[in-house]
C-alpha cells in the first residue's frame, strides 16, 4: 500500500492511498498450470471525524486464468463503503457495505454487509475477526461469511 496523503482530523480533506496486489494460484486453483497470477489495484479514501472514521475503497481485480469459458469475466470491479470506531484503545469495530461484480457475466452482483473487530495484540501483531451476510440471493453471493485474520508488521 502506498499512502498518498494522510487523513488529518482538523482538515476537511480526506486521506488517500493506493494498493496493488498479486495473488499466486495455489491448491485447486492451479489445475494443469492453466491459472496464472491474479492482480488487483485498489484506491482508498478515508476521513476521520472525531472518534469515527469513514472509508471508501474502489478496486479492480483481473484474472490470469486462461480458461476458455466465455461466461467468465477477466476483470471485476468492487466498492466497499464503511465505518470504524474504537471500542477500547486497542480494539476497533469495523463495518462495511460491499458490492462486487459477479465473476460470471449476466449473473447477479454480490452485495454483503460485514462487521467485525480489529485488535492490536502486540506492537507488531494485529488480529481481526468478522462476520458477514449476503444481502441478495445471487448464485455467487454467500449467505454467511466468517473471517479470521492476522497481520504482522515488519
Note the pLDDT of residue 12. Answer: 77
* pLDDT tens-digit map of 5-44: 777 767 778 889 998 988 776 666 555 555 677 889 999 9
> Which residue, 103, 151, 111, is CA-closest to 132?
111
> Which triple of cell numbers denotes residue 45?
479514501
> Which triple of cell numbers denotes residue 59?
478496486
For the segment 81-108, the average pLDDT, to the nearest whole number, is: 94
Backbone angles phi, psi at 140, to 5 degrees: -105, -5
For the segment 114-134, the average pLDDT, to the nearest whole number, is: 95
Domain positions in the chain are 2-152
CA distance 11 to 19: 23
The pLDDT > 70 percentage for the chain reads: 83
CA distance 83 to 8: 16
Amino acid at each position: 500500500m502506498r499512502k498518498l496523503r494522510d487523513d488529518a482530523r482538523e482538515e476537511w480533506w480526506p486521506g488517500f492511498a493506493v494498493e496493488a496486489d498479486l495473488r499466486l494460484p495455489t491448491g485447486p486453483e492451479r489445475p494443469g498450470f492453466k491459472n496464472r497470477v491474479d492482480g488487483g489495484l485498489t484506491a482508498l479514501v478515508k476521513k476521520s471525524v472525531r472518534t469515527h472514521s469513514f472509508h471508501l475503497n474502489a478496486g479492480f481485480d483481473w484474472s490470469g486464468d486462461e480458461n476458455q469459458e466465455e461466461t467468465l469475466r477477466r476483470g471485476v470491479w468492487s466498492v466497499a463503503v464503511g465505518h470504524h470506531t474504537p471500542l477500547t484503545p486497542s480494539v476497533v469495530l469495523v463495518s462495511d457495505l460491499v458490492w462486487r461484480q459477479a465473476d460470471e457475466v449476466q449473473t447477479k452482483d454480490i452485495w454483503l454487509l460485514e462487521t467485525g473487530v480489529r485488535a492490536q495484540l502486540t506492537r507488531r501483531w494485529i488480529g481481526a475477526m468478522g462476520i458477514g451476510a449476503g444481502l441478495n440471493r445471487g448464485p455467487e453471493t454467500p449467505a454467511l461469511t466468517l473471517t479470521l485474520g492476522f497481520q504482522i508488521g515488519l
